[in-house]
Structure 1
Amino acid sequence: MSLRKITSIAELHKYLHAALQLEHATIPPYLTALYSLSPGTNSDAARVLRVVIVEEMLHLTLAANMLNAVGGSPELTRPGFVPQYPTRLPDGETDFEVGIQAFSREALETFLKIERPARSPEEGSGFVRRPRSEGAVLPTFMHDDDTEMHFYSIGEFYHEIGRGLKSLHEEMSARGENLFSGDPSRQITPDFYYSGGGEIIPVVDLDSALEAIRLISEQGEGIGGAIYDYEGEISHYYRFQQLVLGRYYQKGDEADQPSGEPIAVDWGSAYPVKRNARLDDYPRNSELHAAAVRFGTDYQALLGTLTQAFNGEPGLLEAAVGEMFRIKESALQLIRNPIPGMDGVNAAPVFDVRSSEGGDHE
């Protein structure tokens, strides 16, 4: 994977494809952590995870709207879109990997890194060039050269998209051309999507595109790293931090110092699911293998429905969002069952069964 500063429509399309991958890549880890919770426990943690997952679906949809607005075509079913975990995120953050695991302190620490505010004391600016790094990285549609553009946070990644949008809009407007030439009928509008976590924004011009970027960035990390987003809701980073610190934030609190009601988190009440499970972790012709294939097939069908919704059939989106949570039962068929021959290890969902057999994994 390699990122350059946005100087062309082709570069912009590549960034927005990477944004789709980025938003999606957080959903399987968050879903697995949610579904790993033991029944009747950790209601606060479950509530936080559900809210964040719904908002990540909103962010995915906003990224699709932006790509459609500038003449691209969202595609969520092509090989490599679903990562093999653990993976680095496609915005180039190199100091951590994202994996599939049970709800735990370690999982929450990773979630905090995913959602961290846009600040890098060592690097200052939002991006730097570095040599190509080692390790699994989501394949993207970026340039294939000897250097990469690395962003410290998701917010800084979107800042570059916003900068590129403004620059290209100015250049094309000066030539009498329109950057936002995509078919408006492909936009997901509030008529087709309501999440309770922010209203969908149809992207038809520069102002609406920048508004979509602001919503995505601030729901993740707050306004400039503050606790709340512009709607006054707690951002993802601080929602997760509440669980780690064991207390809710309330208005007037300083960052890292919540003073609200205590949160009871039982870190031991989660099924011990296999980290970064692959299909070949389950014996062939076993019930677990069949359940894993069924889940992965259903998940790919869900991504297919989302792709259709983002490419001219917006009425399908509501059904797809509901299906995201209806797959819970097939996930639990895995999560609540031990893997034969692995003492104290339960099965976990496999989100891409097409490429999960073979290869090295935990």
Structure 2
Amino acid sequence: MYSYSIRTLDELKEFLYQAMRLEHATIPPYLTALYSIKPGVNQDATQVLRVIVVEEMLHLTIAANILNAIGGTPDLTRPDFAVDYPASLPDGETDFKVGIQAFGREALATFLKIERPAQRPIHLVGKGLIHRKTSPHTTALGNDPRHEDLHFYSIGEFYSTIAEGIKYLEAEAHRVGTTIFTGDRSRQITSEYYYSGGGELFAVTDLKSALEATELIIEQGEGDGGGIYDDNEHELAHYYRFDELVKGRYYQKGDQPGHPTGPQLQVDWEGAYPIKANLKVVDIDIKKDPELREAATAFNTRYGEFLQLLTRAYNGQPTLLLEAVPIMFEFRNMILELIRNPLTNHPGKNGCPTYEIPGSTKQAAVTRQAEVRA
């Protein structure tokens, strides 16, 4: 179906690293939208976002399991791991960008694009990978000259290519009496270390479990085979949970995609703090808002420590993952400290987390520029 195929183990490892970047890239936008909602309103939206954030963490961990299974090394501390918002997704989609913004219609429109089903619009059916209209350097996959035309339509297409690559490479290895699944099994994370209501976390040790893992991610995001539910838990896929909020109506059994017929639900589109979208630390006036700038910097440091914790968990210390979800929701207080306070030099706008991770490639460049200006 697609015009790109993974043909080497190194390529597969790189794709799985990008899969981890992809899953992580969705967490800051979802987390910020969740905590931007004012108290006492949008309870349905709050529940949807909270569940999806936890499931994105599940997907991140599944991608790490697959990478570990084939002898790779999950590393969330690499300088290029965290994207700089607004950003194209690390799976190669370039027709939209994902940013940090408050809950609202614009945010939901972006979230629907992130989770969109693999069924393409008619004008793109059968055309394989879409050629870039922007610089190939807008995403990490484009940094490799071999991938300069790599552009998937959806996350589902991206993971389908990974699944095909796994099948091809394992078949080639089997032909000569070996396997690609040579990783240390003690690094596998299972449900005892991470609970998610939407899917079991299991060890990846062979072809069958690897394909089940990629399928779980696809189904939770966009649904099973064009339907609105995933196959394992028969829960509504992410795309359709967001679609419920946009349409103001619940899906129920028997509904077709795009046509929910269940009870109405209420969404207060003004029920979020007016945060400054895609704020950077350097945008916060150090003289007029010193405490806000300090809070933004402290959040970034803590978030960097969170990524370090996950890296250790994925590299032989799985019990550390038990701390990850509590820390993620501990971010609530730090985020609220930012989004509830106005920015002096941006009238009508409040602060927000910037997710500029210390040690990242982009953050190093920003720091150098700030030092030059000073």
TM-score band, normalised by shorter chain: over 0.9
Output the TM-score relative to the length of structure 2. 0.92
2:67 maps to 1:45? no
Report the alpha carbon displacement of residue 316 of structure 1 after superposing the two structures with TM: 0.2
| Counterpart in the other structure of 2:192 | 191
2:234 maps to 1:232? yes
Q: For the structure 1 residues 69 and 33, does the alpha-carbon distance in structure 2 shift closer, same or farther, using more than 3 Å as the test?
A: same
**1:1-150 map, 5 Å:** 5-120=5-120, 121-125=122-126, 127-128=128-129, 130-131=131-132, 133-134=134-135, 137-140=138-141, 143-145=144-146, 147-150=148-151
Output the TM-score relative to the length of structure 1. 0.95
List per-residue Cα deviations over 1:34-84 (Å, max 9, x = no partner): 010011110000000011111100000000000000000001111121111
Give aligned pairs, total: 358
CA distance in 1, matches of 2:308, 2:251: 38
User: Contact conserved, 1:52 with 1:236, CA < 8 A, in 2?
Assistant: yes
Q: Please list every run of 5 or more consecutive structure 2 residues that lacks an aligned counterpart in the other structure.
A: none
User: Contact conserved, 1:117 with 1:224, CA < 8 A, in 2?
Assistant: no
| Counterpart in the other structure of 2:284 | 282
Specify which structure has the higher proportion of helix. 2
RMSD, aligned α-carbons: 1.9
Report the alpha carbon displacement of residue 11 of structure 1 after superposing the two structures with TM: 0.4
What amino acid maps onto 1:269 in structure 2?
G
CA distance in 2, matches of 1:77, 1:146: 23
CA distance in 2, matches of 1:238, 1:126: 26
What amino acid maps onto 1:337 in structure 2?
N
- The alignment partner of 2:343 has SS state of coil
Report the alpha carbon displacement of residue 144 of structure 1 after superposing the two structures with TM: 2.4
CA distance in 1, matches of 2:168, 2:136: 33
CA distance in 2, matches of 1:126, 1:75: 34
CA distance in 2, matches of 1:165, 1:152: 20
User: Contact conserved, 2:28 with 2:100, CA < 8 A, in 1?
Assistant: yes
Report the alpha carbon displacement of residue 155 of structure 1 after superposing the two structures with TM: 0.4
| Counterpart in the other structure of 1:330 | 334
| Counterpart in the other structure of 1:175 | 176
Report the alpha carbon displacement of residue 140 of structure 1 after superposing the two structures with TM: 4.7
CA distance in 1, matches of 2:132, 2:333: 44
**1:259-338 map, 5 Å:** 259-284=261-286, 286-338=290-342
CA distance in 1, matches of 2:147, 2:8: 20
Moved over 6 A (4+): none
2:344 maps to 1:343? no
Q: For the structure 1 residues 213 and 180, does the alpha-carbon distance in structure 2 shift closer, same or farther, using more than 3 Å as the test?
A: same
What amino acid maps onto 1:342 in structure 2?
H
Q: Please list every run of 5 or more consecutive structure 1 residues that lacks an aligned counterpart in the other structure.
A: none
User: Contact conserved, 1:115 with 1:221, CA < 8 A, in 2?
Assistant: yes
Report the alpha carbon displacement of residue 178 of structure 1 after superposing the two structures with TM: 1.2
| Counterpart in the other structure of 1:205 | 206
- The alignment partner of 1:275 has SS state of coil
Report the alpha carbon displacement of residue 119 of structure 1 after superposing the two structures with TM: 1.3
CA distance in 2, matches of 1:334, 1:288: 6
Q: For the structure 1 residues 205 and 135, does the alpha-carbon distance in structure 2 shift closer, same or farther, using more than 3 Å as the test?
A: closer
List per-residue Cα deviations over 1:94-140 (Å, max 9, x = no partner): 21110000001010000000000001122224842525723873435
CA distance in 1, matches of 2:148, 2:72: 25
| Counterpart in the other structure of 1:244 | 246
Q: For the structure 1 residues 136 and 287, does the alpha-carbon distance in structure 2 shift closer, same or farther, using more than 3 Å as the test?
A: farther
User: Contact conserved, 1:162 with 1:210, CA < 8 A, in 2?
Assistant: yes
Q: For the structure 1 residues 105 and 132, does the alpha-carbon distance in structure 2 shift closer, same or farther, using more than 3 Å as the test?
A: closer
**1:211-230 map, 5 Å:** 211-230=212-231
